[in-house]
Amino acid sequence: MLTEWQARHQREYETIFILDPRVTREQAERVVQRVSEAMAVKDARLLKVDYWGRRKLSYRLRRNDWGFYYLLRFLGAGAVVAELERNFRMLDAVLRHQTILVRSDVDGTGLQVGAGDVEFRIDQLAKEAAEAVREQPPDAVVAAPAPPADDAGEVEDEDDDAGGDDVPEEAADGAGSDDGAAETDGEEDPADGGERGEGGAS
Amino acid sequence: MSDRRDGGPSGGGKHRHGRRKRVCRFCADKAVAIDYKDPQTLRYFITDRGRIVPRRISGTCAKHQRAVAIAIKRSRVIALMPFGVSGG
């Protein structure tokens, strides 16, 4: 609980976060739940939740051109911001978030917050998200999981190439240590990229 | 001495290109707030490539230029304004 003094000297923050345009209702609810929990745990008070709707982004974020914007205003201490941002970082549906200190030394006692002011309007969000997905099939999602089907086999081939034709056990171990790097390369462009690279070098 | 150097804009000195002295937009109209959530207003203070316009061009006073620059940078972080526009 807050002491009398703390309640009279709070800080007002403003947080904007952007949700993935293909967000599902469950994901959105989880975000709302995390926000409410963070507020409750750190004795903060939500003053206002503003749903801006679907907006075009000025630049692409994780292959998205659009996003759902939310603006939160709340009273609390610095610990709330840390807790809130920690949660945002864990949630995949949140593309971006930014918190700004609006005013410090705010007297939080006697402040009335209407129930309508802290409404997340998830119904509308879910509706708009569903409409957006229907209009624009998620091509980026289809493109991403295509390559890794033969990933393991391809990576092994690459190692063999790197180690030479007949690889003794020691060399194979050495190649094993490179495995991690090879796999991460493989995610984007399996085997092909590596072979092309070698061809270019020789 | 130093009076030859600039002439001073208000001292009746000639403006080389006949340019009028610009007044800071935010000083002239106190009602206009600098808000990072309002990209429409801030758009006036970036070039078409997305760079922040220097105050010698926009005429903004030092105090408000600082505020504008911070607002534009905040606005960029949440994708309301571009960091830069490629191509062109």
The pLDDT assigned to A111 comes to 83
Interface of A with B in 61-100 (CB under 8 A): 61, 67, 69, 71, 96, 98, 100
| pLDDT for residue B52 is more than 80 | yes
pLDDT interval class at B18 (50, 70, 90): low
Query: A141-148 contacts: CB < 8 A, separation 24 or more?
Result: A141/A22, A147/A186, A147/A187, A147/A188, A147/A189, A147/A190, A148/A186, A148/A187, A148/A190
The pLDDT assigned to A36 comes to 94
Within 8 A of A18 by CB-CB distance, chain B residues are 78-79
Whether residue B77 and residue A96 make contact (CB cut-off 8 A), yes or no, is yes
ipTM for the whole complex: 0.73
Whether residue B37 and residue A16 make contact (CB cut-off 8 A), yes or no, is yes
Tell me how close the Cα of A93 comes to any Cα of chain B, in angstroms: 15
Whether residue B37 and residue A98 make contact (CB cut-off 8 A), yes or no, is no
Q: Burial level of A113, CB count in 10 A (0-12/13-18/19+)?
A: middle
The pLDDT assigned to A158 comes to 42
Instruction: Enumerate the β-bridge partners of residue B73.
Output: none
The pLDDT assigned to A191 comes to 40
Selection from A160-164, A172-176, B17-21, B49-53 with the highest mean pLDDT: B49-53
The pLDDT assigned to A114 comes to 84
Give the pLDDT of chain A (202 residues) as one tens digit per residue: 789 898 899 999 999 999 999 999 999 999 999 999 999 999 999 999 999 999 999 999 999 999 999 999 999 999 999 999 999 999 999 999 999 999 999 998 888 888 888 889 988 999 999 888 888 665 555 444 444 444 444 444 444 444 344 444 444 444 444 444 444 443 444 444 334 434 333 3
Q: Burial level of A138, CB count in 10 A (0-12/13-18/19+)?
A: middle
Tell me which residue in B36, B74, B79 faces A57 most closely, judged by beta carbons: B79
Within 8 A of B80 by CB-CB distance, chain A residues are 58
Whether residue B79 and residue A100 make contact (CB cut-off 8 A), yes or no, is no
Q: Most A CBs within 10 Å: which of B75, B78, B80, B86, as the mutation test of the A interface?
A: B78
Closest residue, chain B, to A71 (C-alpha): B37
The pLDDT assigned to B75 comes to 97
Closest residue, chain A, to B35 (C-alpha): A102
Whether the CB of A101 is below 8 Å from some CB of chain B: the reply is no
Cα separation, B63 vs A26, in Å, equals: 46
- Other C-beta atoms lying within 10 Å of the C-beta of residue A144: 13
Tell me how close the Cα of B10 comes to any Cα of chain A, in angstroms: 38
Interface of A with B in 18-47 (CB under 8 A): 18
pLDDT interval class at B17 (50, 70, 90): low
Whether residue A59 and residue B79 make contact (CB cut-off 8 A), yes or no, is yes
pLDDT interval class at B19 (50, 70, 90): low
pLDDT interval class at B51 (50, 70, 90): very high
Average pLDDT over residues B60-69: 96
Is this model's pTM higher than 0.90 or not? Answer: no
Whether the CB of A102 is below 8 Å from some CB of chain B: the reply is no
3 state SS for A185-201: HHHHCCCHHHHHHHHHH
